[in-house]
Structure 1
């Protein structure tokens, strides 16, 4: 039995953000039609502060893939000269059960996470949005930013703020245009980039907000949001993580990638525990909006929120794209198991 093995370097050469976005959108729509499953999340917190989680699931019908990924986040590795974020992804054909690929999970996770944030923003933000606030300037932030610039070409100004390391935002904006071009093939030469240091002021001036931090308490308060703001909340993907004021959920139109999972381990977890919302009262899932089953924004004044906790099947559909392209280009290694 032959299987394709793809390294991170292979994936960087293979994957392009527009194709990743297309695959993620197809999965969200397939989920809305009832053909996607997300199996229970397994996670472990090490005494050192490191994290491990296993996510698994499948997208059936036309997508036809299932599998699992194991991810590790070991912050202390940075001081040792080792990768902080690592993982392995295993993908299987859902018609035969045969494995189609084993590959690095970290790059695929970063790409599809960026795509998810962008899809939510494009579907729920005001069409005339011009200003974006990126909250968090860590390793995954470039993927959120790049994907959103692809999906929302009308954006003219990007502010970047990092509440955990303020100087990071200053450094970030000096290289981000070059990095977007070199790492993702995205031309952002017409976009103005600016570092922000006052969260309240930055929030008040933004049409679209992307959050990708490790925060366990709100960084953005309800009273700071101007009418019509959209927030794509990505950082809260485990119990106890929280980036925005739970009170926002009382009046906002709130959408999830998976309502039950978001109310368990996502940005919706704390509001759900407070009784503000539940899987049954969430406005909808993003796939329902994309499939035309539910309206997203209904007025220019709406505050909209997209909570994305991450579905393993998004990684899997990206893996399927990667394997197909690798075979076409003769990249990667084929092994017999």
Structure 2
């Protein structure tokens, strides 16, 4: 008989914290850079093109002794039926035996690990004296990205929040996001920065040392001429072909980093400029920078871009941390298979 832990969204939100997510994602990047982890081929299937689809990301983390997968499905008509449009489910298995160890709601895991990923890019690539951050995008990921960035970059004094496609909505979005950020940081030092709406995107870009982007854009809204020398940009919005948030021209001179080279060039922020021939395709993976094997920023004037496409290893490492926390606290449900 095999026992498996089941963690629903409520249990995960009680257990998972910004520091836990950051530690798990960094570990996943390091394991990958050392060759102790592997990403497996992604699966994308459209049940009804433009209306219903799913994708599966999977891989293994040898250092942690787990392999796993995440299935995310999107059914656009669901809200009209009183159901969520998105469902996410993660499974964790013992790498030595194949035994299932955990079934988890992938929704909150994705939020936390995505926020951690964008912030980790800023931690290792932004200037040490960076004080101003721009959050371009006001969706569900924005509070997690801001909170993780403030946790890892305590020198940040000001956060600007903008909705790049509907700037008139920036103030209302900022008002809603701020208490969420404060809640996420309540157990790890609190929110130490001023958070303000920035309806003028160009002005905000020109005055920001760190920029985080998280939108479904297919037309870039960060123009190359706005970005000042020394700026760091973490892009998390592009996760399928054709998506783009940053002007392709910026890739011609910026130092480019990513979570997985193949994924960045096929579905990430790098995809469009690479296929257009603007960008050579040379990417330093962030795990190498964290380990010290690769150089990150080498000059205060460098413009750095981190293409965070989202990899299965982030989910597996975070799920493993949650499983340990659940076992230590007695949370979740244990089922016998």
Instruction: Number of aligned residue pairs: give it.
Output: 334
Counterpart-to-counterpart distance in 2, 1:123 and 1:50: 37
Counterpart-to-counterpart distance in 1, 2:170 and 2:100: 42
Q: Per the alignment, in what secondary structure is the counterpart of residue 103 of structure 1? A: strand
Residue 84 of structure 2 corresponds to 83
Q: Per the alignment, in what secondary structure is the counterpart of residue 87 of structure 1? A: strand
After TM superposition, list the pairs within 5 Å mapping 1:188-337 onto structure 2.
188-279=190-281, 281-282=282-283, 284-337=284-337
Counterpart-to-counterpart distance in 1, 2:52 and 2:149: 29
Q: Per the alignment, in what secondary structure is the counterpart of residue 331 of structure 2? A: coil
The verdict on how the C-alpha distance between 1:195 and 1:51 changes in structure 2, with shifts beyond 3 A counting, is farther
Q: Per the alignment, in what secondary structure is the counterpart of residue 289 of structure 1? A: helix
Indicate whether 1:149 and 2:153 are aligned: no
The verdict on how the C-alpha distance between 1:68 and 1:222 changes in structure 2, with shifts beyond 3 A counting, is same
Q: Per the alignment, in what secondary structure is the counterpart of residue 40 of structure 2? A: strand
Contact 1:177–1:189 (Cα < 8 Å) also in 2:
no
Indicate whether 1:64 and 2:62 are aligned: no
RMSD of the TM alignment (CA)? Answer: 1.7
Alignment gaps of 5+ in structure 1: none
How many Å apart are 1:52 and its aligned residue?
A: 2.1
The verdict on how the C-alpha distance between 1:77 and 1:182 changes in structure 2, with shifts beyond 3 A counting, is farther
Counterpart-to-counterpart distance in 2, 1:232 and 1:32: 19
Range that drifts further, 48-57 or 257-266: 48-57
Contact 2:219–2:243 (Cα < 8 Å) also in 1:
yes
Range that drifts further, 43-52 or 317-326: 43-52
Counterpart-to-counterpart distance in 2, 1:171 and 1:84: 24
Alignment gaps of 5+ in structure 2: none
Q: Per the alignment, in what secondary structure is the counterpart of residue 243 of structure 1? A: coil
Counterpart-to-counterpart distance in 2, 1:168 and 1:329: 41
Counterpart-to-counterpart distance in 1, 2:183 and 2:309: 28
Counterpart-to-counterpart distance in 2, 1:239 and 1:224: 25
Counterpart-to-counterpart distance in 1, 2:20 and 2:201: 33
Residue 24 of structure 2 corresponds to 23
Q: Per the alignment, in what secondary structure is the counterpart of residue 219 of structure 2? A: strand
TM-score w.r.t. structure 1 length?
0.94
Indicate whether 1:95 and 2:96 are aligned: yes
How many Å apart are 1:310 and its aligned residue?
A: 0.9
Counterpart-to-counterpart distance in 2, 1:240 and 1:248: 17
Counterpart-to-counterpart distance in 2, 1:151 and 1:115: 9
How many Å apart are 1:43 and its aligned residue?
A: 1.6
The verdict on how the C-alpha distance between 1:245 and 1:51 changes in structure 2, with shifts beyond 3 A counting, is farther
Q: Per the alignment, in what secondary structure is the counterpart of residue 248 of structure 2? A: coil
TM-score w.r.t. structure 2 length?
0.94
Cα deviations by residue, 1:15-61 (Å, 9 ceiling, x for unpaired): 1110111111111111111122111111234434444211011111x
The verdict on how the C-alpha distance between 1:294 and 1:226 changes in structure 2, with shifts beyond 3 A counting, is same
Counterpart-to-counterpart distance in 2, 1:181 and 1:240: 34
